[in-house]
Amino acid sequence: MGTREKVEAVLTRARRRTAGLTDCLDDSDLVAQHSPLMSPLVWDLAHIGNQEELWLVRDVGGREPVRSDIDELYDAFKHSRRSRPSLPLLNPVEAREYVRTVRDKAWDVLGSSTLRGGPLEEHGFAFGMIAQHEQQHAETMLATHQLRSGAPVLTADTAPRVGVSVAENEVVIPAGTFTMGASDDPWALDNERPAHTVHVPAFVIDAVPVTNGRYLEFVADGGYRRPELWSERGWAHRCEAELEAPQFWASDGGGTWWRRMFGVPEPLHPQEPVVHVCFFEAEAFARWADKRLPTEAEWEKAARWDPTTGCSRRFPWGDNDPDHSLANLGQRFLGPAVVGAYPAGASPLGVHQLVGDVWEWTSSPFEPYPGFTAFPYREYSEVFYGGDYRVLRGGSFGTDPVACRGTFRNWDHPIRRQIFSGFRCARDLSGEER
């Protein structure tokens, strides 16, 4: 598939998903704020169009603005999510018409672009950036659906409930250098760049993400009542937020646990990766298990390093784009698959489901790589460096393949758990294992 055809495909897929997440709701649900953590869905819809107008229509295309009067309304840095319902936003009819108009103009810009020349057009970067931006907001809108109360409106096939038996619980990753980050991937974003060599001491990492069943052992063992398992900040947050279990879990009091997914309660599946836990919960579990969370470099080496060639792959399975046999991505299902469901997607050393299912917390703060250069705007990454964020890796069932690769970096506050976040543990090698 050529670059132009790829651009057309990813933009079309993104818009189809945006429509699916907004057309299923009536206007009152679109303008409502379902959580102070999230924007009204109608804000996300128009913001998607506004970013596309700014970068594709005005910047790449050099065309006249469609609605320059609304730029400030849809600038994510001008207004907090909590405050957005009070703004004079476009109503659902106006927002849909706006994004349609912008997309028509964007198609015209694509038709006349050589996809060559300046850094925004070379290899279709700006078009790929906008497709990634729309899919990132689609995942945010999916999280809003999870927070929404009321009758269920989303449907999908059931994620795989049977997986292969994973041979080892843990995998040893040998000491040595590997290439971290990306320089040659034409659609990699600025915080993934540049590629650089990192030395990682030998370590052990879980072969699969932590499951509901394993996490339930932590809950049953009093994990939420034992301050010695938590960091000082983590325990303070656990107490203030009154955390007792992952978000959307509920017990019937008789030993059975349920989880609500997009308005549908279902019994907790013990072999699914745990989802909707914050960094502090993941950190406490790891300490309970006599382990720790992996660093970002450890996670990426486990996901990308090929011991046979000594090179870094684009994905755990190789350089080919994901397909349905390799990872649970793209909102095909409304939840994680069981562990072992994607054996073809395992890394060369046998680490499973590093891509898809759940975002995985790492212990690393969000910081720039050596030689980082902001592109094409500071507000995508640079303004977040040094803040109170932890890096997540790997993507979730709600992440589109265009916005997921072995180098992709997500980040969020350590208290956040409305995102589709899980984790796996790591540990140092013991003396007899060396």
Q: Are 81 and 38 in contact (CB under 8 A)?
A: yes
Continuous segment of H or E residues that includes residue 260: strand 257-261
Of 159, 101, 99, 123, the closest CA to residue 358 belongs to 159
* Cα gap 201→418, rounded to integer Å: 33
Mean pLDDT of 171-182: 97
| 196-251 pLDDT, tens digit each | 999 999 999 999 999 999 999 999 999 999 999 999 999 999 999 999 999 999 99
Mean pLDDT of 261-266: 95
Query: Was 416 annotated as part of a binding site?
Result: yes
264 has which bridge partners?
Answer: 261
Residue 167: its pLDDT value, please? Answer: 76
Q: Are 40 and 83 in contact (CB under 8 A)?
A: no
Residue 1: its pLDDT value, please? Answer: 78
Sequence-distant (6+) residues with CB within 8 A of 49 are 95, 98, 99, 102, 103
Residue 393: its pLDDT value, please? Answer: 98
Query: Was 137 annotated as part of a binding site?
Result: yes
Residue 433 scores a pLDDT above 70:
no
Residue 431: its pLDDT value, please? Answer: 66
Residue 434: its pLDDT value, please? Answer: 63
Query: What's the token pair of residue 420?
Result: 């589709």
Residue 430: its pLDDT value, please? Answer: 74
In this structure, the strands spanning 421-422 and 359-365 are: parallel
* Cα gap 402→6, rounded to integer Å: 10
| 378-416 pLDDT, tens digit each | 999 999 999 999 999 999 999 999 999 999 999 999 999
Residue 350: its pLDDT value, please? Answer: 96
Query: What's the token pair of residue 145?
Result: 């659906």
Residue 256: other Cβ atoms inside 10 A: 10
Query: Was 82 annotated as part of a binding site?
Result: yes
Alpha helix stretches (DSSP H) within 122-242: 125-147, 212-220, 232-241
Query: Was 100 annotated as part of a binding site?
Result: no
Query: Was 196 annotated as part of a binding site?
Result: no
Sequence-distant (6+) residues with CB within 8 A of 162 are 338, 341
* Cα gap 21→154, rounded to integer Å: 8
Confidence of residue 432 (pLDDT cuts 50, 70, 90): low
Residue 266: its pLDDT value, please? Answer: 94
| 74-85 pLDDT, tens digit each | 999 999 999 999
Mean pLDDT of 135-160: 96
Confidence of residue 252 (pLDDT cuts 50, 70, 90): confident
* Cα gap 105→212, rounded to integer Å: 47
Confidence of residue 255 (pLDDT cuts 50, 70, 90): confident
* Cα gap 223→63, rounded to integer Å: 57
Mean pLDDT of 318-333: 97
Place of tokens 């065309």: 63
Which one-letter amino acid corresponds to residue 117? G
* Cα gap 55→416, rounded to integer Å: 30
261 has which bridge partners?
Answer: 264
Q: Are 49 and 22 in contact (CB under 8 A)?
A: no
Name the 3-class secondary structure at 312.
strand
Q: Which of 110-119, 240-249, 374-383, 425-434 has the lowest mean pLDDT?
A: 425-434
Sequence-distant (6+) residues with CB within 8 A of 420 are 139, 142, 143, 275, 276, 358, 359, 396, 397, 398, 399
Alpha helix stretches (DSSP H) within 343-415: none
Mean pLDDT of 335-339: 97
**Cα angle vertex 97, ends 31, 333, to 5°?**
60
| 12-69 pLDDT, tens digit each | 999 999 999 999 999 999 999 999 999 999 999 999 999 999 999 999 999 999 999 9
Residue 125: its pLDDT value, please? Answer: 97
Place of tokens 């019937």: 252
Which 8-state DSSP code applies to residue 77?
A: T
Residue 117: its pLDDT value, please? Answer: 87
* Cα gap 131→149, rounded to integer Å: 29
* Cα gap 208→201, rounded to integer Å: 21
Q: Are 416 and 237 in contact (CB under 8 A)?
A: no
Residue 169 scores a pLDDT above 90:
yes
Residue 357: its pLDDT value, please? Answer: 98
Mean pLDDT taken over the chain: 96
Query: Was 84 annotated as part of a binding site?
Result: yes
Instruction: Write down the pTM of the prediction.
Output: 0.96
Continuous segment of H or E residues that includes residue 42: helix 41-52
- % residues pLDDT > 70 (the chain): 99
Half-sphere exposure of 7 (CA within 13 A, CB side): 26
Query: What's the token pair of residue 273?
Result: 């990766």
